[in-house]
Every structure is written in C-alpha cells, then in structure tokens.
Structure 1
C-alpha cells in the first residue's frame, strides 16, 4: 500500500510533481485543496473568508484525515496544512511524507507568474513578495522538515525536468 503526502510552500510543485508521480505509479492523485473545494462547493479562499483561519484549518484537518484513509494514493497538501494541529505528525504516522524544498528565489519566480490566482499574493510588489516568502518559509520550516524525506524541487519548469524529478522521487522513496 502506497500513501505519500507531498508538503511544501505554495509554488513548490506539489501538484505538478504529484500528478506526474501518480501517473507514473498508476495510482490516483488527490490535491487536498481541490478535494476540499469539491466537497464544499466553494473555493479555499471563500471558505477561509467565511470561517476565518481557525475554522478553515479545522476543516482542512478533518479533510486531511479523510483522504488519509485512501490507499495507493499521492496526496498534495495545502502549503499551511503541515503547520497546524498535529497534522505533520499524523501524516508521518499514516504514510510517507516528502517536503518539496525549493529555494526562495525559485519560489519568487514561480509565484510572480501565479500571483493573480493566489489572493494572498495579489497587490504585493516584488520586494514585498520576496520578504513574504522568506518569512513564511522561516516560520514553516520546523514543520516541513519533520517530513520523512526532503526533496529538492527547484527544477520543475519543463517536461524533462518534471520527468527527471519523478524518477529521483521514485528512487528516494524506493518504489
């Protein structure tokens, strides 16, 4: 039975790498944020606004426990999911965890491109965005680094880089 949780900051490549890895292993891929949106017929942003951070994080935890019952699956968590409650400890107990570690400069480049799709980043100038990323990474590092494996995900910009990363991840996890 395979149950792998991909964790890391927004823009780390959890969905990109997770989908490609699941395809290679011929098992389902679940993006926790998408799962939540499907279940509640609202965006994560809407749920966050409606329930506040505490309410959203409680909901996220419940949904994490739900998807953790799936077998033979790759699960991409939201960037903040490992940092609340006992989520990281829980994921470590029920599956293999992988922290997709990405250099802040690479995250900055990726998030500049995706800024419009991420409400929390909208309106931030370049220097503000760099500072925002750096501070968030420092705050979340103690949680992310509890993962069973730390995987460099700096190179996910092309099909070939993604495929090479999938191969490296498969080797790391001995699958």
Structure 2
C-alpha cells in the first residue's frame, strides 16, 4: 500500500512519515529530497532560478513519474497536492493522509527554519501567520480531498495505521 502524506509545510510530513514507514516496515520517500536529487539542486536554488511555476511543473512530473515501491510512505511537498491534477493522481495511486494543524502552530514550527523556505524567508512572525492562514484557505479544497485527516498536534501512529488499513 502507498500512503501519501499531505499538509502544509511544517506539519510533520517528513518526521511522521519516517516513523510511520518504520513502524509498518515500509520504504520512506520524501518528495522534496527526491526533487533535489532529480533536479541536482536545492529546492530553494531551483525556485530562485526558475520561479514557482517551473518548480510546480517539475514537482508534478517527479511525483507522477517516480517508480514507487508497492509499500511506501511518501511525504509530499506542502503545495504538491494543490497543482495540476496532483491530488487526483495521489488518490488514484494510494491512500492520502492530511496532517492538519492550526496556522499558529505551523508558524511556531516554521519560524526557526524560514530561511530554507522560499515562500517564508522574508516574512516576520505575524506575516507568517497571515501567509499560512491565506494559503490554508486556498489549499483547503485540495487537502480536504484526503482519504484520512489526522490532527498534527496529536499524531498517533497506531491509530493512523488502523485507519489506513480499515478504511
């Protein structure tokens, strides 16, 4: 079974994905790392050199063209489900799990590492919260298409495994 973790940057897709994959004895794939190894550059550098539209196109191509193992957990980029037909593709190729968190909780997690995030690097804390609120509103219709929604502040691996297996 392929499990695709979706949600806003900072919600824990990579951290939780590694734990979930280990618990299920599945492979773990981080789409951001896959992008960087395929593109031969960091996301930040690619984004700065080519712009967001080119980044989203390449991210979509990589998402859909990768040869995923039968059993894996995939941490997608925060915006990946929201472009082109990516969310439909995700739902047709595995079980999608939305890790949901409040804008304030996300901002607190993202503040320290914002320099690595092209969309946040020039924002102060209040602007980050506003940005997250706006982006979450834009992305809600995509994130809400997930087969499973889980609370990012109270993630429980055992409960999520049961939801995935018995959905």
TM-score, normalization: structure 2?
0.93
**Equivalent residue for 2:163?**
172
CA-to-aligned-CA distance 1:39-61 (integer Å, 9 cap, x gap): 12201112222222221111111
**Equivalent residue for 1:72?**
71
Pairwise CA distance, 1:167: 1.4
Pair 1:124-2:115 in alignment: no
Alignment of 1:156-167 (within 5 A): 165-167=156-158
Unaligned stretches of 5+ in structure 2?
A: none
Unaligned stretches of 5+ in structure 1?
A: 156-161
Pair 1:34-2:57 in alignment: no
**Equivalent residue for 2:2?**
3
RMSD value, Cα: 1.5
Q: 107-116 or 89-98: which moved more?
A: 107-116
CA–CA distance in 2 between the matches of 1:141 and 1:168? 23
Figure out how many residues of one structure are paired with residues of the other and give that number.
166
Alignment of 1:89-104 (within 5 A): 89-104=88-103
Residues 68 and 94 of structure 1 are in contact (CA less than 8 Å); yes or no, is this contact kept in structure 2? no
TM-score, normalization: structure 1?
0.89
**Equivalent residue for 1:140?**
139
Pairwise CA distance, 1:89: 0.5
